[in-house]
Structure 1
Amino acid sequence: MKLYIVRHGETPWNVKFKLQGTSDIPLNEKGILAAEKTGEALREVPFDICYTSPLQRAKETAGLILRGRNIPMIEDERIQEITFGVWEGRCCRPDAMEIPGEMLDNFFHHTERYQPPERGERISDVVKRTRDFFQEMIHRSDYEDKTILIASHGCAVRALLQNVYPPGDDFWHGKVPPNCGVNIVEAHKGVAKLIVEDAVYC
């Protein structure tokens, strides 16, 4: 089994440094082009099935990567982005910060200290639901010989990859995944390993 785990393309809110979370923001022109170029780079990959976050930016990215192919796309809420609650739509650019700087710093640099805002989600909750999804995938005997595209989000991608990162490693693995960054995981009989990390083809 091979899993191609991809972060969505750029959105208008990415450009404006707005926290998106589960707000349903579409791709911008650059994001569309990047997803198309990623699809071109992966055109020889024999995808069998696609799982995508229900959010538009992930679905659009998956659709553009798979354009012209008759491949099933299944929406799964377990791989949607972390919920930022009342922070969603607020700017996190350093010179125009609209949320407490210490809390944002904890989110990106000290995840064990991160406390979500009202109606927000803990990082541990994202890790739990994405682990449930990941383990289900790699233990499905009917997927043993399949190649699967997974379209998700920055925090959710890093949460998924906790299943293959070394124990005790930094949650973000040094950085937020780039837009349209591709991570490739090989799995056999429930054992998974990361073979490509954050590859960008655009």
Structure 2
Amino acid sequence: MVLRLKSCIFDSFILYSIYQVFANTGETIGVSSMRLYIIRHGETEWNVLRRFQGRSDIPLNDEGRRLARITAEALSEVPFARIYTSPLKRAYETAMIIKGERDIPVIEEPRIIEIGFGDYEGLCCGKEHYNIPDPEFMNFFHKPEAYKPPRGAEGIDELKERTADFLQEIVYNKDMEHDTILVSTHGAALRGLLSNISQVGIEDFWGSGVHKNCAVTIVEVKNGQMVITEEGKTYY
């Protein structure tokens, strides 16, 4: 019942956005605008080993820090008003490297934390060391509508719900309607955000696939309407 209510709230949110765009002879109302830069964290050792990280708090490796520094240089002139980051080390450190010495508030946001894999965290999906006991688990990537979370894990519908809550709060905050905002998050959590923005079902959850480490997606927001203008750009 709660999930249905949340879905209805988000559907109303999207419909209201569309109404604002097409009202008044099809012209966008007002001049307010916002820009989101959504980044996947830098590389970790578990990325290299192809181990499922989920909520495991794995830090960046040296290559991950290098990629973040290159990305930071590319974004050094972007006037970020604030930064939202997952509380996990790999996303937080990526955000702080991009922030650099700039005086930008950093907010740890649990709604953009990575999806939890429960008992399967730390298991490997690489060919050489594959050790996932449930053959249906890989539906997570190949058939997400059929994915059944292992014990202690989070469902994709739950991920979409909390990332929708985050977007709604940001997009309709009048104090931020002209802001440029950095969002530092994770592979699946990022897809949760983008699938909500694109209004696609769970079957199309992965869209263009898992973004590379430190890949940046830009979203333009005007009067509540969100448009992806650039997706998965890397600067290395």
TM-score, scaled to structure 2: 0.83
Question: Which residue in the other structure is 1:40 paired with?
Answer: 73
From 206, 211, 214, the equivalent of 1:180 is: 214
Alignment RMSD (CA, Å): 1.2
Shift of 1:166: 5.2
Question: Which residue in the other structure is 2:155 paired with?
Answer: 122
Asked if 1:147 corresponds to 2:180, the answer is: yes
Shift of 1:131: 0.5
Letter in 1 for 2:136: M
Asked if 1:191 corresponds to 2:225, the answer is: yes
Corresponding residue pairs, total: 202
Alignment of 1:1-202 (within 5 A): 1-100=34-133, 102-165=135-198, 167-168=200-201, 170-202=204-236
TM-score, scaled to structure 1: 0.96
Deviations for 1:81-140, whole angstroms, at most 9, x for unmatched residues? 000000011111123211146334300010000001110010110000001001111111
Shift of 1:181: 0.7
Please identify runs of 4+ aligned residues in structure 1 that moved more than 6 A: none
3-state SS in 2 of match to 1:57:
helix
Structure 2 residues not aligned, in runs of 5+: 1-33
- Give, in whole Å, the separation in 1 of the partners of 2:200 and 2:67: 32
- Give, in whole Å, the separation in 2 of the partners of 1:95 and 1:104: 18
Letter in 1 for 2:225: V
- Give, in whole Å, the separation in 2 of the partners of 1:8 and 1:92: 20
- Give, in whole Å, the separation in 2 of the partners of 1:198 and 1:135: 22
**Does the CA-based 8 Å contact 2:117-2:149 persist in structure 1?**
yes
Q: Which has the larger radius of gyration?
A: 2
Letter in 2 for 1:160: L
3-state SS in 2 of match to 1:6:
strand
